[in-house]
Amino acid sequence: MEHTITHGPSFALGTLELTSRESVTVEAGSLVGMSDGLRVRTRIGGNRGGGFTGVFRFFTALVRKLLGGRTLFVNTCSAREGATGKLLVAPSLAGDIVHLELDGDRGLVVQGGSYLASGEGVAVKTRFGGLKGLFSSEGTFWVRCGGKGDIWISAYGAVHEIEVDGSAEVDTGHVVAFDDSLDFQVRGSSSLKAALLTGEGLTAHFRGRGRVLIQSRNLGGTLHWITPKLYE
Amino acid sequence: MQFTKAHDPAHALAICHLEPGDAVLAESGALVTRDAHLEVESTAPRDQGVKGLLKKIGRKMLAEETLVRSLYVAGEAPGEVTFAPRLPGDILIHEMTGGELVIQQSAYLASSREVAIETRWGGFRGLFGQGRVFWIRASGTGQVALNAFGAVEEIDVDGTFIIDTGYIIAFEPSLSFDIKRVGSWFFSVFSDEGPACRFKGKGKLYIQTRNPDEFGTLVGGKLPPRNS
């Protein structure tokens, strides 16, 4: 699949070119436009499974939606035999888009809000962020991407890569994605009081070897800054 | 009259250079600086008769349309005016050469007096979901300045192209369009996806790389509720 990323780093736009029978999975809200003739199917929570898990996914998506989090509805767009098509994708916030290739060995865990699109060889599964994730301001949930193929992720601001060898700590609001070779644990601030006073969010602790991609801005931080000013 | 831009693409500013006798029309609130000797006139859209009144009511009901624009006129001496949009992003300076351009209302920033500007209600087909669409029809010869949330992407449509309405800045009227939903109606209730415009024909389509409504919904949904 041919692709280009233009207008980065501030307002990146991804252009994906599909050829005969190729397909791509796009987070529903990230679809900007497309040429005609592409077949579109909407699904919840990833591109694998159905039946009972499908029903389960529907309810978790609904719960998440009611709690103000982002739902992961995906559109699977495919080009008909002998036809070609073009797709435009963009995130909601200002920032960049990066393209990664999964080699089949190492998977990638992506923050729900950063997942944009993936190629057909990539299996996408939503992973519940747990109770802590549900109640955090970021409404964190994670998408596990495995298999082989292309994946596009977006950042609020720029994308910065850090290599972890040992252990590292990252504010969850800044995490875009990380290699699943890393052990990962979300911890709250040391005390509730500290969390309330400093406004610091949850921290992701990584152990092992692998990449962590971070975004240079954090929506939780922006909101934290702007909220008190609304009533001044 | 000539537009130039500065500080693009992230935070573009439109600079309008007026020769004696020139005038520029701009969205109210867009003004940043003006040479003090330039005259300012307020203009309200000329809606006449019953049809005009209905149009006016329609606009009021939807509370989206700014009814007043300002005209900056250079008399004996040349002058300069600058304009800025509300959100970060680029400005598109489009040269009109006697044809027409259809502009999404919120993308309009300013235009030369020689260009005729007419607001049209998008009608009910544009009203589903978040997709309240007002179109402005520009015609004549001269420059028009449009603002984008993010960057401007130019698409040469030849055949059919479907685009989320929130991303449209402007298009050439050689393109016809209808409103369509991408994917299924059932899912779109949950997925925050706005309606899409399906363009047909041959012509230019200008889009912005971020959707202001989507941004507003995302950020607004995470802010505490209003007290009053």
HSE value, Cβ hemisphere, 13 Å, CA-based, for A82: 0
**Cis peptide before A9, with omega less than 30 degrees from 0?**
yes
ipTM of the shown complex: 0.83
pLDDT at B191 over 70: no
pTM: 0.85
Asked if the Cβ–Cβ distance from B187 to A44 is below 8 Å, we say yes
Of A134, A125, A2, the closest CA to residue A63 belongs to A134
pLDDT at B100 over 90: yes
Asked if the Cβ–Cβ distance from B88 to A226 is below 8 Å, we say no
pLDDT at A22 over 70: yes
How far is residue B47's CA from residue A200's CA, in Å, rounded to a whole number? 54
How far is residue B99's CA from residue B94's CA, in Å, rounded to a whole number? 12
Asked if the Cβ–Cβ distance from A61 to B215 is below 8 Å, we say no
What sign for the dihedral angle of Cα B57, B62, B65, B66? positive
How far is residue B104's CA from residue B119's CA, in Å, rounded to a whole number? 10
Task: Decide: helix, strand or coil at residue B168.
Answer: strand
* Beta bridge pairs of residue B83: B14, B31
Chain centroid, CA A193 distance in Å = 30
pLDDT digits (tens, 9 = 90+) for B19-67: 999 999 999 889 999 999 999 998 765 555 666 667 666 655 554 445 5
Please tell me the predicted confidence (pLDDT) of residue A68.
46
> How large a percentage of chain A has pLDDT more than 70?
75
Asked if the Cβ–Cβ distance from A90 to B224 is below 8 Å, we say no
pLDDT at B186 over 80: no
How far is residue B59's CA from residue A195's CA, in Å, rounded to a whole number? 46
**Cis peptide before B225, with omega less than 30 degrees from 0?**
no
How far is residue A132's CA from residue B65's CA, in Å, rounded to a whole number? 43
Interface of A with B in 42-61 (CB under 8 A): 42-44, 61
B71 touches chain A (CB under 8 A): no
B163 touches chain A (CB under 8 A): yes
- Mapping DSSP onto H, E and C, the string for B57-102 reads HHHHHHCCCCCCEEEEECCCCCEEEEECCCCCECEEEEEEEEEEEE
Is beta strand B115-121 parallel, antiparallel or unpaired with respect to B168-171? unpaired
**Segment A158-172 mean pLDDT:** 94
How far is residue B94's CA from residue B204's CA, in Å, rounded to a whole number? 12
